[in-house]
Amino acid sequence: MTAFALISDLHSNLEALEAVFQRIDELGVRDVHCLGDVVGYGAEPEACTWLVMQRCSWTIMGNHDWGLFHDLEDFNPLAREALLFTRRRMKPTWFGARRRQMWEYLRNLPDRKEDHGFLFCHGSPRDPIMEYVLKSDGFLEPDKLRDIFARIDRPCFVGHTHWPGIHRTDLRFLAANDAFRTVDLDGAPAVVNVGSVGQPRDGDPRACFVVVDGNRVEWHRVPYDIARTQRKIIAAGLHPALADRLERGK
């Protein structure tokens, strides 16, 4: 079985995305899939979308990709502001062929994918775009997590929370970090979060992705030029909090 990489929650962060693709190339992994949220929050949605279109063999829809085309009432103010910015930047014009191509690409993303014997979605198996599978669900909402596990018969890879790690059927969450970087799957149901490329929230500001080789999953962390990304966010007129959070990994 050929190894493949999974990226998610890029959020228009070109520096992080380019650093991740460079590391993937160094690892010799050719097949890359994206679990959504290509856009949102950051300053370079066009460049990130185009790069994903060139490099990923498939991509599924995240909630911010969905929000580009729908009502934003359920998004928090920072997310809403950033998505309105993204709409202005990406909505097609009469003479923008590439812009239209990217717009239609994001509009037509599927909400889930089955490949390599696994299930893939952005949010959760029962609500693939919007629902969060939180690291606290095992003890705060165990019935929710049991219902999710009742719907799957194999490992499922997700993003959305920006927090890398794995839930197994015992409902405990094991957070991925430098001390816990690899896990072996046995084919049993599990929910594996691949973390975030463009906006990590687990206290580690480095971009995060996974490589899956057979049943072995390995999380990778990659440093990137956060200061440059922050300057771009400020220059674009986006809220300074979106820049500040990157260096804190929150």
pLDDT tens profile 116-134? 999 999 999 999 999 999 9
Asked if residue 1 has pLDDT above 80, the reply is no
**Residue range(s) defining the domain that contains residue 92:** 4-248
pLDDT tens profile 168-184? 999 999 999 998 999 99
- What is the number of alpha carbons within 13 Å of residue 173 lying toward its C-beta? 21
pLDDT of the residue at 2: 87
pLDDT of the residue at 122: 98
pLDDT tens profile 181-215? 999 999 999 999 999 999 999 999 999 999 999 99
CA–CA separation, 44 and 25 (whole Å): 22
pLDDT of the residue at 31: 97
pLDDT of the residue at 33: 98
Decide the pairing of beta strands 112-115 and 155-158: unpaired
Give 97's pLDDT tier (boundaries 50, 70, 90): confident
Mean local confidence (pLDDT), 87-112: 93
Give 93's pLDDT tier (boundaries 50, 70, 90): confident
Asked if residue 87 has pLDDT above 80, the reply is yes
Query: For the chain, what is the mean pLDDT?
Result: 96
Residue type, 229: T
CA–CA separation, 103 and 181 (whole Å): 36
Q: Where are the alpha helices (DSSP H) in the chain?
A: 14-27, 45-55, 63-67, 77-90, 97-107, 137-140, 142-150, 226-235, 240-248
Residue with tokens 């929000």: 67
Residue 70 tokens, joined: 């729908």
Give 145's pLDDT tier (boundaries 50, 70, 90): very high
pTM of the predicted model over 0.85: yes
Query: Residue 144: CB partners within 8 Å, gap ≥ 6?
Result: 137
CA–CA separation, 186 and 62 (whole Å): 27
CA–CA separation, 26 and 66 (whole Å): 32
Asked if residue 94 has pLDDT above 90, the reply is no
Asked if residue 55 has pLDDT above 70, the reply is yes
Mean local confidence (pLDDT), 93-101: 85
Mean local confidence (pLDDT), 214-223: 97
DSSP state of 105: H
Number of compact structural domains in the chain: 1
Residue 67 tokens, joined: 């929000």
**CATH code at position 38:** 3.60.21.10
